[in-house]
Amino acid sequence: MAIKDQLNSIKEAAKKAIKEAQSMVELNDVKAKFLGKKSAFNDIMKSMKDLSKEERPVVGKETNLAKRDIQTWIDDKRQELHDLEVAKQIEEETVDVTMPGKEFHPGTTHLLTQITDEIEDVFIGMGYEVMEGPEMEIDEYNFEKLNLPKDHPARDMQDTFYINDTVLLRTHTSPVQVRTMLEKGGKEPVKIICPGKVYRRDEDDATHSHQFMQIEGLVVDKDTTMADLKGTLLVIAREMFGQNREIRLRPSYFPFTEPSVEVDVSCHNCNGAGCHICKQTGWIEVLGAGMVNNNVLEASGYDSTVYQGFAFGVGVERIAMLKYKINDIRQFYTNDLRFNKQFKS
């Protein structure tokens, strides 16, 4: 029968096209072509009206069988393509566990930051507040309110970068203490430390830098004595250089404190026996301190007959250099990773 041949040739063509389909998209096109509205089967269905009553159901059945076959082949092919895709994906996504990993370099905290953090922690533990202030400061807070009027010779102790007549780069973090005292309005007690960068017109060399870090402390209250200062200094010395350290106070001069002292710590390298670090003396000078000068208290609104205070200041670089035997202060500022990485926090 001609129609049977026709069906067979459609089936053959479909079989071939399905076999050759390379992707789901191509397979869908094949399906549309052979099973869609405009397929060759539709032409056969249309020509059914010309057939005899007996032939019609036979042809109808054959056509449906042919379509079912094609659908089955398409389903099989779809599964095959899907399997291939999965296999390909697995292949592509394999992880080669023997490959060397990507190197990841975590940063380290700078040594100066580490030491600052450590000292801050100790003071926070003793109830101090950490205060910060601007590096660009006015003369009034950096000098005048600290008992250093305009022509005071002690201004030479801190050679200054001036921006203009009244503005400068702070030479110490003491102006933060002034700011805090003014804020408290001469009424409340003060217990703060002030870490930060300071600037001085020094020629840079192995032990001098025009910019360095300081931590200063200030306590103002109604019954503050030199004994409180001494106890506090001993705590800092031991935190920084070990629990066996002792301290020694020598009379000194700062305009903002009276009396003023220079604080020596027994040498952490030789335990006081004498070595090259302590220049054979057994002692190393590390801090400046004293009882807050009455003029300083009064200038920031504190009644000096009611309030007393003590203050101290320490250079962070100096501590780091002593502790880790660093012989050139410039090492802190060059961002040389070989240096920085030696101090993993």
Going by DSSP bridges, is the β-strand pair 136-138/167-169 parallel, antiparallel, or unpaired?
A: antiparallel
**Smaller CB separation from ligand PHE, 39 or 174:** 174
Going by DSSP bridges, is the β-strand pair 257-266/247-254 parallel, antiparallel, or unpaired?
A: antiparallel
CA 119, CA 193: separation in Å to the nearest integer?
9
In the complex, residue closest to ligand PHE by CB: 313
CB of 266 to ligand PHE, least distance (A): 21
**Smaller CB separation from ligand PHE, 41 or 123:** 123
CB of 342 to ligand PHE, least distance (A): 28
288 binds ligand PHE (CB under 6 A): yes
291 binds ligand PHE (CB under 6 A): no
**Smaller CB separation from ligand PHE, 96 or 156:** 156
CA 174, CA 192: separation in Å to the nearest integer?
11
Contact yes or no for 213/194 (Cβ under 8 A): no
CB of 321 to ligand PHE, least distance (A): 17
* Closest listed residue to residue 267, CA positions, set 235, 242, 287: 242
CA distances from 218 to 229, 256, 290 (A): 10, 11, 10
CA 199, CA 159: separation in Å to the nearest integer?
9
CB of 121 to ligand PHE, least distance (A): 20
Q: Which stretch binds ligand PHE (CB under 6 A): 83-91, 123-131, 288-296, 336-344?
A: 288-296
Contact yes or no for 219/228 (Cβ under 8 A): yes
- Applying CB under 6 A, the site for ligand PHE has a residue count of 11
CB of 132 to ligand PHE, least distance (A): 16
Which residues within the stretch 228-287 sit at the binding site for ligand PHE (CB under 6 A)?
254, 257
CA 35, CA 80: separation in Å to the nearest integer?
20
Q: Which two tokens stand for residue 178?
A: 């002034």
Helix axis angle, 226-241 relative to 111-125, nearest 10°?
140
CB of 333 to ligand PHE, least distance (A): 19
290 binds ligand PHE (CB under 6 A): yes
Q: Rule CB under 6 A: choose which of 216, 283, 299, 318 binds ligand PHE.
A: 216
Which residues within the stretch 294-333 sit at the binding site for ligand PHE (CB under 6 A)?
311-313
CB of 100 to ligand PHE, least distance (A): 52
Which residues within the stretch 163-192 sit at the binding site for ligand PHE (CB under 6 A)?
172, 174
CA distances from 80 to 12, 16, 139 (A): 20, 15, 84
Site residues (CB under 6 A) for ligand PHE? 172, 174, 216, 254, 257, 288-290, 311-313
